[in-house]
Each structure stands twice: as C-alpha cells, then as structure tokens.
C-alpha cells in the first residue's frame, strides 16, 4: 500500500511545510519500505533508485513523516531508531530481540482494554502509546546465543 499522498500534502500544508520534490521522493520511497527499517536503509534504497537527496534531508524528512503520523519511530536499545509505515495499518505492539534485532508484531485486545481502564482511572486522555518488550527470540535461544529460558 502506498501512503496517501494527498493526505500527506494536506497535513504538510497545515504545518507550514513545503512539499519539496525531495520530500515527495522520500515519502514515496518510505512508503515502499517493508517492515521496520532504519534511516540508513532508506538512504540506500533512495541511492539505489537513483535519487541523490542528502542524508541530512532524509533524516529531517523522516522526523516530519513521523510527526505527520505517516510513519512510526521506534527507539532502539543501542541508540538510533527504526521506522515503519503506520498510516492505514492496524495498531500493534512489538517484541524486540536484542540478539538478532528481529521485531515481532502482535495485537492484543486485552491490552487495549487495560489501557482504556488505566486512562479512565487517572482521568487521562490518551493520544498515543507504545509498548516494546525487549528480550531474546526463539530462534536465538535455539542457537544458544541468548539467556536460557
Ligand atoms: Zn533473535
Ligand atoms: Zn511494527
């Protein structure tokens, strides 16, 4: 699925951001990335497709795309971040393997209910949340790289 370009342009306008050709190119490439990718992977994909946008522009535009709600940013334990397309997708949580870096997605209705309940209890209006469980995946444990479990 492509990111809805018109929605993106509209939101950009609302924030006073110009829809420059570089930003449009980066948006298009970001929407074609699969899974959870880092900024360098996006830079490589742009280079591979013949684009010469600067690394700095890519990083700045990524943060715009996050604030516009089209991508989501995940902070990594070792620093840095990974991104994924978020607009138009089912909200989900993540299990992050600290050994191999795999990010597994899960949807858990009871978690959403619990979150609603907590917000009610504290009279809090939620805007967004993220849950990232860090640990060692089955594959890594099987190969003896992780903590025993
Ligand atoms: Zn793993
Ligand atoms: Zn995800």
- What is the distance in A from the centroid of ligand 1 to the CA of 120? 36
pLDDT in tens, 45-88: 999 999 999 999 999 999 999 988 889 999 998 889 999 999 88
Q: Is the pLDDT reported for residue 149 higher than 60?
A: no
* Ion ligand 2: residue ranges with CB closer than 5 A: 84, 105
pLDDT in tens, 10-29: 888 888 888 889 998 999 89
- Ligand found nearest the CA of 106: 2
* Residues in a beta bridge with 113: none
First to last CA, the chain: 38
H/E stretch holding 67 reads helix 55-67
pLDDT value of position 145: 56
- What is the distance in A from the centroid of ligand 2 to the CA of 108? 13
Look up residue 80 and give its two tokens.
């840095």
- What is the distance in A from the centroid of ligand 2 to the CA of 37? 10
- What is the distance in A from the centroid of ligand 2 to the CA of 89? 9
- Ligand found nearest the CA of 37: 2
- Average of per-residue pLDDT across 98-113: 93
pTM summary value? 0.83
Percent pLDDT > 90 in the chain is 63
- What is the distance in A from the centroid of ligand 1 to the CA of 75? 17
């Amino acid at each position: 699925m492509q990111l809805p370009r018109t929605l993106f342009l509209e939101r950009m306008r609302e924030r006073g951001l110009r829809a420059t050709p570089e930003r449009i190119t980066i948006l298009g490439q970001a929407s074609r990335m699969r899974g959870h990718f880092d900024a360098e992977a996006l830079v490589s994909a742009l280079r591979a497709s013949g684009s010469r946008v600067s690394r700095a522009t890519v990083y700045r535009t990524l943060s715009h795309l996050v604030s516009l709600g089209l991508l989501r940013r995940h902070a990594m334990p070792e620093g840095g971040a990974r991104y994924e397309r978020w607009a138009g997708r089912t909200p989900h949580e993540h299990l992050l393997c600290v050994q191999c870096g795999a990010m597994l997605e899960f949807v858990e209705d009871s978690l959403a209910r619990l979150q609603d309940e907590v917000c009610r209890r504290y009279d809090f209006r939620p805007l967004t949340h993220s849950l990232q469980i860090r640990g060692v995946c089955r594959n890594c444990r099987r190969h003896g790289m992780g903590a025993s479990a």
